Chains A and B, each alone.
Chain A
Amino acid sequence: MPTERLVLTSPNIIFEDFDGDLVVLNMNSGQYFGFNAGAAVVWEAFIAGYAPDALASAYSQPEAVTSFAQQLVCLELLKAEGAAETTVPEKTRLLIAEMTEAPTVQVYDDLSDLILADPIHDVDQDAGWPHLPTP
């Protein structure tokens, strides 16, 4: 994976930017993820096709970038597919080098059951949204 290209696992991975932070929704798993600004920068570079190892070399804590890549794969947001671009443009290297915080991801698991729940069939009939049926 360090030299492989990372791509979205499916079209059901959608994301939105909020002042440099990112919220990613995996509609397959129902999980939301809050990315800090550092994670948003590295995510964009991964999506652009640059190799995790090449990006890591631009940052003062290289392992933070490579472990972030592994985390995204474990979370089934990205998957390795083919060879990545190993030459990173200077502009991207600078963005990575100047990150003030290492990439971190906050997982909003508390929402996943509700997002994955079929809202018509699975929501509790008595209590309604946002309550799941009593087992």
Chain B
Amino acid sequence: MTRAPAGCFGLAPPRLTRASLVEFFDYLFGGFDAAFEAQPITSRHLIGGSVYEIASDLPDYMGAVETGLAGRTINGGSSECRIIVTTSGKAGLPVTPKWAELFYAERDVEAVLSNSRYRVHHMLDIGFWQFFDRARGCGIQLMNSPAAYPPWDMGSPLRNFVHWHFAGRQSGLIHAGTLAVGGTGVLLAGPGGSGKSGTVLGGLMRGMQSVGDDYVLLQLGDNIRVQSVFTTMKQDPQGLARLGTSRPDAELNWQGKHHLRLSDESTGFSVDDIRARALLLPHITGKSLTRIRPASAKDAFLALAPSGVSQIPGDRNASFAICAEVSRRLTCHHLDLGVDPDEITKRLRNFIADGANG
């Protein structure tokens, strides 16, 4: 069989195995520019100071991107990151990747690519692929059909591309909630059931600011800045009831949770960038009053790191290091949540106003 040079889609692509991953990437991205130009729909987003340009022939998916990815812009400048979203085998990008080994072991594939310019994520069962060229800032998402994406994708579309684009530049995605007053605020980290999302939503409904509740972009400089990447957050009906509200007309997602737009829930001034001063570890206590008490950096790290390191494929060392740096630099506190959302929000407002030092 004649092996195709990069971007020459008329010839057979390299077999897709661990040994030929880089060769396959070279082939695939050789045709990127032409394929990008051939897509009929585009959307531009300003995230963390970088312009992302998404191109696709899938109107429904692009609708989800336009509403779910933060920072939509009509900025006409050059883009730092370009991503194609399409289905496999289409004209313009006529490649249907097929893993040619018996098993697809994601950790092994990550290890093969760890020192290369490329990153990949694959869901074998639904034929979902994400390829990324870090050197050029180019990504390709290929699906078997227009709706063959994982159920959680609509809450954080193109999440891996954003992570791969920023990872290793003193920045990266972390799994944390945020609340702020006047652009200065706190990160909240903890597992499901800790009260993180309820605290964020309760604060938003009472005039506090947030740049996100699930995944946010962290940038380490003289200050620690946190920026919005996605526009929605999730909360189940029981959590809404605890906050004294409900969304009877809103659909439930795959987790039985409502997807809520941050801007719809906010009664305060909207921001897309805050300065983080503290890292809080929420915990539901059932007690009447909220208490904020010191936590060690080690405890904070153990609350922040596991979900981020495990949920975002590739560059896990960088995720681990960023979580550690944040835990060391911010003041860390346990947030023992009371039962009254008004009292919780007031306590957090005072905490931030006092410099977030406990």
Q: Are A126 and B256 in contact (CB under 8 A)?
A: yes
Residues of B close to A74: CB separation below 8 A:
none
Q: Are A34 and B298 in contact (CB under 8 A)?
A: yes
Closest to B332 in A: A18
Q: Are B306 and A32 in contact (CB under 8 A)?
A: yes
Q: Are A120 and B123 in contact (CB under 8 A)?
A: yes
Given known A-B contacts A27-B316, A131-B192, A16 and B255 have beta carbons under 8 A apart:
no
Q: Are A14 and B310 in contact (CB under 8 A)?
A: no
Residues of B close to A120: CB separation below 8 A:
106, 121, 123, 150, 313
**Interface residues of B, count at CB 8 A:** 33
Q: Are B254 and A126 in contact (CB under 8 A)?
A: yes
Closest CB-CB distance, A115 to chain B, in whole Å? 5
Closest to B128 in A: A120
Residues of B close to A121: CB separation below 8 A:
123, 125
| A:40-76 near B, CB below 8 Å | none
Given known A-B contacts A14-B317, A32-B302, A130 and B296 have beta carbons under 8 A apart:
no
What string of 1s and 0s marks CB contacts (under 8 Å) between B129-172 and chain A?
A: 00000000000000000000011100000000000000000000
Given known A-B contacts A18-B298, A21-B298, A120-B123, A125 and B254 have beta carbons under 8 A apart:
yes
Residues of A close to B255: CB separation below 8 A:
126-128
Closest CB-CB distance, B148 to chain A, in whole Å? 14
Q: Are A118 and B302 in contact (CB under 8 A)?
A: no
Q: Are A25 and B320 in contact (CB under 8 A)?
A: yes
What string of 1s and 0s marks CB contacts (under 8 Å) between B310-321 and chain A?
A: 111100110011
Closest to A122 in B: B310
Residues of B close to A130: CB separation below 8 A:
191-192, 306-307
Q: Are A117 and B310 in contact (CB under 8 A)?
A: yes
What string of 1s and 0s marks CB contacts (under 8 Å) between A15-27 and chain B?
A: 0101101010101
**In the assembly, what is the distance between CA of A115 and CA of B151, in Å?**
20
**Interface residues of A, count at CB 8 A:** 26
Closest to B253 in A: A128
User: Which of B152, B306, B311, B316 interacts with A111 by CB under 8 Å?
Assistant: B306
Closest to A116 in B: B310
Given known A-B contacts A23-B298, A121-B125, A127-B255, A114 and B152 have beta carbons under 8 A apart:
no
28 A-B pairs in the complex with CB atoms less than 8 angstroms apart: A14-B317, A14-B321, A16-B321, A16-B324, A18-B296, A18-B324, A18-B327, A18-B328, A19-B298, A25-B305, A34-B298, A34-B302, A111-B302, A111-B306, A114-B307, A114-B310, A115-B309, A115-B310, A118-B106, A119-B310, A119-B312, A120-B106, A120-B123, A120-B150, A121-B125, A125-B151, A125-B254, A126-B256
* B residues whose Cβ falls under 8 Å from a Cβ of A: 106-107, 121, 123, 125, 150-152, 191-192, 254-256, 296-298, 301-302, 305-307, 309-313, 316-317, 320-321, 324, 327-328
